Structure 1
Amino acid sequence: MTDFDPAPPAPAQSKLSDPAYLFVGDEGIRAGWGILIFIALWFLFAAGLMFVVAKARHLPPAPQAATAHLMAVSGTLFSEGALCLAALLATFVMSKIERRPMARFGFGGVKRLSQFLQGIFWGVACLSLLVAILHLTGHLQFDGRLLTNAAALRYGLLWLLGFLFVAGFEESLMRGYLQSTIGRGLAGLFPARYRHAASFWSAAIILSALFGASHGSNPGESPFGLVAAGLAGLVFCLALYRTGSLWWAIGFHVSWDWAQSFLYGVADSGTMVQGHLYATHPIGSALLSGGTTGPEGSIYLIPALAVAVAAILFTLPKTAPQ
């Protein structure tokens, strides 16, 4: 070796020997740790907000529902509002920690209001189609109207707000940060050519199965109703995959639940609400009528969801992944 020969390069330190490598990879904080932090944040925010809500509701007594299985509008507004805010706060904090835009977690897009309103329309339309099928086949009977015009307007608006909180909570929790991050964590398992689609739909299947199972505690739920909730979750994932945002799914979720619970007065995943416009009752086999689960427990749900899928594919433009 002469004086002019360059010195040999020092051996690079192995990434595996770096403790930080266990927590941070090439794309930032590792997906598994991100998921754990997000869940911890959501529990923390939810517990804190629910504590505040419980204290606040003790000041003036809140009106109670008539039965244990009847959802009260005031309870829904407070509890679901707190859970929705907790999910949004957890998502926002994670976006700052990971330095990723909120759009990455479904809250972007240039046509947010348009997609939300389209979702509202298709939610009512598809649920009305399902109710019409049940009524025309003799599996759902309308017993009469329950509310005056003034009461109908008041309850209709309150339940619309309540189900906006429900949809905002469930969509942001199940198809927002977790959908994006689980997909990111699974991406390395697939060939580059199919990576985006395969990782997205793998995460979608996992979370939709959890979404369906989460309805198991509802008092009137049925096995097919749990499957139906999971299928609905996949439909919402299709809208997210198509547009890159949650706005269509949130709109659809809001109006679907509102039309079931308030407008037509049928059970929504086994739960009835206080202050619904019409009284109804199912007739015949639970698999056809939905039974205590409501229309979501009927196999006639499948054509209604097929219409929702068609609406997504033919009315929503395909947006490049963000």
Structure 2
Amino acid sequence: MRLVWQLVAVVAVSFLGGQALVAVEDDPWLTFAVGLATAVVGVVVYRWVVRLTEHRAVVEAALRGAAPALVRGTLLGLGLFALVIVNLALLGSYTVHGLGSPSSALGLLGFMAAAAVTEELLWRGVLFRVVEGWTGTWVALAATGLLFGLAHLLNPHATLWGAIAIAIEAGGMLTAAYVATRRLWVPIGLHLGWNVAGSAIFSTEVSGNDTPQGLLDATTSGHVLVTGGTFGPEGSLYSVVFCVVTAAVFLVVAHRRGRIVPLRRAARTDVTATLPR
């Protein structure tokens, strides 16, 4: 039942926050404020429901050290997406025409903050963490990563290849970041930086969603395997390669720190609290 209560709590915040964002979508300042508020409320609710249902300190969302970890993750996400865009530009597949809309970029920052926090709380904080307690790290990583990718088939302009790419990139890389740190802050930052770069800075489609114009007025063109087509650069082979390499680095770090949970240890109710820090 702890899984059910935690899912209900986080999904409720995500739903209500999403409805509030839709209501203020025409005002970038309000969108920014509502997005940040949703992110904060999401963390507060997650900490409350986990403490209530598992009777432990919520170490994976501890506030101590959260800011630097969040910054590191965000910078990594921004850098990875920028690396994809640089490669697209070198091939002539990404062209900047001028300055876009700074106010829209601000609204996108708030929207993506809400999305990154609630999705990481749901997928890494609840689903992966609980499933890992049943099956161990590797099975949980593969299973929740696949589900994360398949969930994106519901997005506009979704493609099977795009869903597979998301399963590999986000499902693999973001989960690996959590396993390596055993904290939610780096994957939240990584998720945020990646989405903000794609929408608020480089003005591309994000997971098939047509977002408002960001800081740059730019277009992508070229083969779908290079640009990701209407799904956005997340469907680019460049994204897949860069994210797989990053995931591999995180998993090596996790192995060296003794944070990979084998199946024989997965029967423990509270895997997160018993692993080395």
> Into which bin does the TM-score normalised by the smaller protein fall?
0.7 to 0.9
- Within 5 A, what are the aligned runs for 1:36-47? 36-44=4-12
Mapped to 1, the partners of 2:221 and 2:18 lie a distance apart of 39
Mapped to 2, the partners of 1:110 and 1:75 lie a distance apart of 28
1:212 aligns with 2:149: yes
Mapped to 2, the partners of 1:315 and 1:114 lie a distance apart of 18
Mapped to 2, the partners of 1:296 and 1:226 lie a distance apart of 9
Alpha-carbon deviations, 1:162-197, whole Å to 9, x = none?
3222111111110002222222233xxxxxxxxxxx
Q: CA RMSD in A?
A: 3.2
The TM-score, its normalising length taken from structure 1, stands at 0.69
Q: Could you tell me whether the CA contact under 8 Å between 2:156 and 2:209 is conserved in 1? A: yes
Mapped to 1, the partners of 2:17 and 2:69 lie a distance apart of 30
1:133 aligns with 2:87: yes
Q: How many residues align?
A: 259
From 53, 57, 61, give the equivalent of 1:97. Answer: 53
The TM-score, its normalising length taken from structure 2, stands at 0.79
- Within 5 A, what are the aligned runs for 1:242-257? 242-257=180-195
Alpha-carbon deviations, 1:288-320, whole Å to 9, x = none?
221111111111212321453366468898375
Equivalent residue of 2:174, what SS? helix
Using the TM superposition, name which of 85-94 and 240-249 deviates more.
Answer: 85-94
Deviation of 1:45 (Å): 5.2
Deviation of 1:100 (Å): 1.9
Deviation of 1:158 (Å): 3.8
Deviation of 1:43 (Å): 4.6
The aligned residue for residue 300 of structure 1 is 238
Mapped to 2, the partners of 1:34 and 1:162 lie a distance apart of 28
Gaps of 5+ in 1: 1-32, 66-71, 187-198
Greater Rg over alpha carbons, structure: 1
Deviation of 1:39 (Å): 2.5
Mapped to 2, the partners of 1:83 and 1:110 lie a distance apart of 17
Gaps of 5+ in 2: 260-274
- Within 5 A, what are the aligned runs for 1:83-162? 85-86=41-42, 88-103=44-59, 106-108=60-62, 111-147=65-101, 152=102, 154-162=103-111
Mapped to 1, the partners of 2:230 and 2:68 lie a distance apart of 35
Alpha-carbon deviations, 1:37-75, whole Å to 9, x = none?
322334555566667x49x95xxxx4549xxxxxx7755
The aligned residue for residue 318 of structure 1 is 257
